[in-house]
Amino acid sequence: MRQTVTEFNGIVRTCLVFFCSIGLLASAYAQPKLHDATAGLVQKLRQSKPDTSRLRLLNTLGEIYLRNSRLSDENTHVAIQYLQTAVQLSDSLHEQTGGHRYDSHRLLGEAFNRSREFDKSEAMFSRIVREQHALGDLGGEAATWFRKAMSLSDMETDPVRIDTAFGHAVRLYHSIGNYNREIEARLEMADAHSRWGDYDHAEQEFLDVIELSREHECVQLPYAYYLLAVVYRYSGNLNKGLGFAMDALKAMHDTGDTTRSSLCYGELGLLYQELNQPAQSEFYYKKCLATREKRNVRQYVIYRTASLLVTELIKQKKSREALTLLLGLKERNPPAGSPEAAIMAQSLANCYADLGDYDRAEKNFMDMTRRYRESEWSSEVIMIGEYDVGKFYVDHRQFKKAEPYLRHALTLVAGTSMARHKDIHYMLFKADSAAGRFLSAIHHFQQYKLLNDTIFDAAKSRQIEELHVQYQIEKKDEDIRLKDENISLLTQQSKLQDATLLQARVIRNLTLGALALLVLVLGLVYNQNRVKQRTNLRLEQQQREINQKNFSLQLLVNEKDWLVREIHHRVKNNFHMVVGLLGTQTAYLRSEEALRALADSQHRIHTMSLIHQKLYQSENLSAVVMADYIHELVSYLKDSFDTRHIRFVVTSERLDLDFSHSLPIGLILNEAITNAIKYAFPDGREGTINISLRHMSANKMCLSIADDGVGLPGDFNTQNTTMGVNLMRGLSEDISGVFSMETHQGTIISVTFAYEAPSLKKNTVATNHVNGSL
């Protein structure tokens, strides 16, 4: 009876999952923006059975819509539908899902946070934590706390709940000795404190993480340097920020992991921007934009980087260049949504404003403002937009139009750039001065001066003193008027002459006293200002010298890289010229043996040329990514012979091999693959050639070329044979390798050699199964 009930429950669950899937299919087709990206997955989902394959499809679709939930609330709703179905299926497949059982649950918890259904999210995460804790799965429990913290942090909800979740994750990762994940959690927690404006707390946390990363040689060290540089920039300590940003860039190059290099380039651009050094800022913004376009990152990030670069170009009176850059970006990568369109409108408006095209500038600014108000944006993005509009109107002396934008920007500026903060106060000082609100103008100028001094920017104090004197004069006039009225009342009770003399005496004494006091105050202020100016001038001179040295060193590094690339490029061109000469020579030969020899030489030279081509195209100028190189070499050899009956299987670890090893390996591959194509499959016989490059141990590698062809002849002598075999054996000896050649269901050629690369990425294998073409 119990078994019958269990089977019935299983059937009900299966039916429920099926009908929910049909509903989700309809929702997916209703999303035109994501239809192209999800159409193939939806088709597979319709054809899938209620098993782990369907579960993975549901999770993938749910995650796609969740990651695009900022585009529309409908995407969040569709994500929740997919993930609820996935959770039901996961529960029904309890024993089959294994360690991935809670993937659907975690994603659903994140989706509930995105839809601001915080109670449902809390219930979902609490359920996962309880079950993992009961199973003793500390690693899984830590991962769940971390995912919860990241989800809450992304929504900028209750800081106490976020800190609690991060704290649990850090404690659990530490207890199981997973220091890399512990450091990652600590970094994200410190970053959250930084985003909340708690810079002192965040600074100490980042310093602790940096010390821990050095102790355990963690790859997160460059990212920690970068985040600490951001904290110092927001807190106004630009010199420290610049130093740590440079440290981050150096650490990335030292470790060979440049995946986050665009972040460092962007941060250096921001720091030099706030130090008012537009040439250096432009240099790093251009590197950042080129890197992000090359890596095809999210379009919003590319547009935001271009916007910052345009600002620096405008500062240097390069508005035409900035406009050309924007129009080119818009043509090759049109805005995909409202956020990108808003950024483009903002940047174009700034360009047109600097070029004097008032109407186009104002039109684009209004388009930007409308788009910002239609969607949810971060306070910093809205602040920058309002700042730009306010500055535009202030520059055109339309202070009444500028005021609402500037005052709104002032309410959002807390916790953001101090440079923009001081500029907003300065523009409000101008607006209030024009409107005759001198007390308010003095307040804004004082705030501007205070912020300006904090970031070591010399300024004048004469304007605020003039306003202060003007205010005192108006106040004194009012006092004199009141005193005159009192004196006129007294003159009614005494003689006119005595009252006039008394009034003159009082006015003279007050005037002399006020003048003496004013001279004393002005002398003190002037002396203090002179001391501060001398100090600031010394600091600025030192800073300019440091920056000039850094800039010169950077130019030397760039020139060295260019020269190395040029050498590889010219060597490659010379190889191509030799190949061309050999090809020309074949027209004058009639001997088949000579033609074959020339063809073999052409293949060998092309193999060496390809090495130099990969070197000058790579960021790493001293090593070749062997997985990519092997694929291109095999593709070239396939095009050089008739290989329609041969299937190639390439299995290579994703590793960088230095030039002294990559060139011999490439020539060995050329000889072995060419021989297999020529002799292993006579008369169009179908077969497979397997090429493998992998680690046998930490410091030993094996290159293998195996085919399932006819094998070696019975009278074949491996010790005294053809030039190709002798060449392979000699190249193996060049890299201190062991060469072997044997027959076992075909021919197997292998080279075992010692090699230990510091940039090896373990457990990353690139495999292509090809039939007829790569």
Q: Tell me the Cα Rg of the chain.
A: 36
353 pLDDT exceeds 50? yes
The more confidently predicted of residues 151 and 518 is 518
419 pLDDT exceeds 70? yes
Alpha carbon distance 63, 76 (integer Å): 10
Whether the domain at 190-297 and the domain at 631-771 fall into the same CATH topology: no
205, exposed or middle or buried, with CB in 10 Å at 0-12, 13-18, 19+?
Answer: buried
Query: Which pLDDT score is estimated for 461?
Result: 40
Q: Which of 55-69, 456-470, 508-522, 611-625 has the lowest mean pLDDT?
A: 456-470
Tokens 């099926």 found at: 18
Per-residue model confidence as pLDDT tens digits over 543-601: 988 988 888 787 776 666 666 666 666 666 776 677 677 777 777 777 777 777 777 77
Q: Which residues of 634-666 are buried (b: 16+ CB within 10 A; e: fewer)?
A: bbbbbeeeebeebbbbbbbbebbbeeebbbbbb
pLDDT band at 707 (very low <50, low <70, confident <90, very high): very high
Cβ–Cβ under 8 Å, residues 129 and 145: yes
649 pLDDT exceeds 90? yes
257 pLDDT exceeds 90? no
Number of other CB atoms surrounding residue 586 within 10 Å: 12
- Find the mean pLDDT for residues 651-659: 83
Cβ–Cβ under 8 Å, residues 86 and 58: yes
The more confidently predicted of residues 34 and 622 is 622
666 pLDDT exceeds 60? yes
SS (H, E, C) 544-608: HHHHHHHHHHHHHHHHHHHHHHHHHHHHHHHHHHHHHHHHHHHCCCCCHHHHHHHHHHHHHHHHH
3 state SS of 747:
strand
Per-residue model confidence as pLDDT tens digits over 13-60: 444 333 344 344 434 433 455 566 677 888 888 888 888 888 888 888
Per-residue model confidence as pLDDT tens digits over 750-764: 999 998 755 444 444
Characterise 657 by phi-psi region: left (phi > 0), alpha (psi -120 to 50), beta (else): beta
Write out the E strands in 198-326. Answer: none
Alpha carbon distance 50, 34 (integer Å): 24
Residue ranges of domains in the chain = 190-297, 631-771
Query: Which pLDDT score is estimated for 752?
Result: 94
Q: Which of 375, 287, 298 is nearest to 333 (CA)?
A: 298
- Find the mean pLDDT for residues 458-474: 41
Q: Which residues are within 8 A (CB) of 756 and not within 5 positions of it... i.e. 6 or more apart?
A: 698, 699
- Find the mean pLDDT for residues 365-380: 76
- Say which DSSP state 680 is in: I
Query: Which pLDDT score is estimated for 228?
Result: 86
3 state SS of 630:
helix
Answer CATH for 631-771 from 3.40.50.80, 3.60.15.10, 3.30.565.10, 3.90.1150.10 = 3.30.565.10
- Find the mean pLDDT for residues 416-422: 75
Query: Which string of DSSP letters, residue by residue, matches 126-182?
Result: HHHHHHHHHHT-HHHHHHHHHHHHHHHHHHT--HHHHHHHHHHHHHHHHHTT-HHHH
CA 456 to chain centre: 29
pLDDT band at 487 (very low <50, low <70, confident <90, very high): low
pLDDT band at 614 (very low <50, low <70, confident <90, very high): low
85 pLDDT exceeds 50? yes
Q: Which of 480-484, 657-661, 675-679, 764-768 has the lowest mean pLDDT?
A: 764-768
Cβ–Cβ under 8 Å, residues 228 and 199: no
Q: Which of 40-54, 307-321, 463-477, 486-500 has the lowest mean pLDDT?
A: 463-477
Per-residue model confidence as pLDDT tens digits over 423-443: 888 998 888 888 888 898 888
- Find the mean pLDDT for residues 684-707: 90
Query: Which pLDDT score is estimated for 50?
Result: 83
475 pLDDT exceeds 50? no
- Find the mean pLDDT for residues 189-207: 82
Cα angle 309-311-315, degrees, rounded to a multiple of 5: 115
458 pLDDT exceeds 80? no
Alpha carbon distance 593, 416 (integer Å): 75
Superfamily of domain 190-297: Tetratricopeptide repeat domain (1.25.40.10)
Query: Which pLDDT score is estimated for 703?
Result: 93
Q: Tokens in use for 449?
A: 């001066």
Statement: the pTM of the whole predicted model exceeds 0.75: no
387 pLDDT exceeds 80? yes
Query: Which pLDDT score is estimated for 473?
Result: 45
Query: Which pLDDT score is estimated for 468?
Result: 39
The per-residue pLDDT of the chain, averaged, comes to 79
159 pLDDT exceeds 50? yes
The more confidently predicted of residues 640 and 415 is 640
Per-residue model confidence as pLDDT tens digits over 258-307: 888 888 899 899 989 888 899 999 999 999 999 999 988 888 889 889 99
322 pLDDT exceeds 60? yes
Query: Which pLDDT score is estimated for 717?
Result: 65
- Find the mean pLDDT for residues 108-116: 82
Q: Which of 286-290, 519-523, 709-713 has the lowest mean pLDDT?
A: 709-713
- Find the mean pLDDT for residues 703-713: 89
643 pLDDT exceeds 90? no
The more confidently predicted of residues 171 and 155 is 171
The more confidently predicted of residues 467 and 653 is 653
Alpha carbon distance 613, 28 (integer Å): 44
Query: Which pLDDT score is estimated for 416?
Result: 63
